[in-house]
Chain A
Amino acid sequence: MTMTRRSVMVMGAGALVAFGLPMRASAAAEDAIAEFTGGADMGSEGLTLTAPEIAENGNTVPIEVDAPGAEAILVLAMGNPTPGVAEFKFGPLAGSHSASTRIRLAGTQDVVAIAKMKDGSFVKASSNVKVTIGGCGG
């Protein structure tokens, strides 16, 4: 297929419409964070959240969290009707303080992970995931 200037513009415009506006964080998400951290300040080093920049389908989005030395990691989807996704608690036999799973995202939004470290401090990481809307109902 040859890529003309026009086809690129058309595709770009279509994609903008498809992605729409990012969904806003809800009060419920803020409450969930407050409950997990007790309102403590959150650092930004030591937690890696891996999520695709663009998800082909919001029904199954692979993510990974990794925070060496964490006791627990909370994952929230800030734009979902209910923001909770999962809380990973690591036991004495955890080989690393990391985990992967597949999650549902109702639309383009920020996925947030917060790690509770062994010293009681908290670390936050955030990743914006664009969720595409397919052309065919299939």
Chain B
Amino acid sequence: MADNVKPRVKAPRKASAGETVTIKTLISHPMESGQRKDADGNTIPRSIINRFTCEFNGETVVDVTMEPAISTNPYFEFEAVIPDAGDMVFTWYDDDGSVYEETKSIALG
């Protein structure tokens, strides 16, 4: 697991049924591209987050396949429909097998 990986998510605490809300996510990760060389001229091996998903009550909002061209500290902004109260689960999948997860509860109101 890369050092100091920390997910951040911005989602509303409340929404009305059927409302479309804006979600922002950011996770601290070097996204080592596999294209860089170290001081000795050796290629630094690729180590990235290769997939990001957002689900609400088990249903998919977005599922993103990520390539090395996604910048360090990957950022996504997208919209979700909130049909009901529930949990929004965000998951990032690392090349090294690590999985980082964050959950935000959204109430109706």
Contacts and interface: CB of A to CB of B under 8 A. Distances in A.
B71 A95 contact: no
Interface residues of B, number: 31
A64 B59 CA distance: 23
A89 B80 CA distance: 13
B66 interface: yes
Contacts of A44: none
Contact of B61 (A83, A91, A105): A91
Interface of B: 20-22, 33, 35, 55-56, 59-72, 74-83
A59 interface: yes
Interface stretch (A10-18, A96-104, A125-133): A96-104
Interface stretch (A1-9, A19-27, A74-82, A112-120): A74-82
Interface of A: 59-61, 64, 77, 80-96, 98-105
B70 A86 contact: yes
Contacts of A92: 59-60
A94 B20 CA distance: 9
B74 A101 contact: yes
B63 A100 contact: no
A33 to B, nearest CB: 14
B76 A103 contact: no
B71 A59 contact: yes
B76 A99 contact: yes
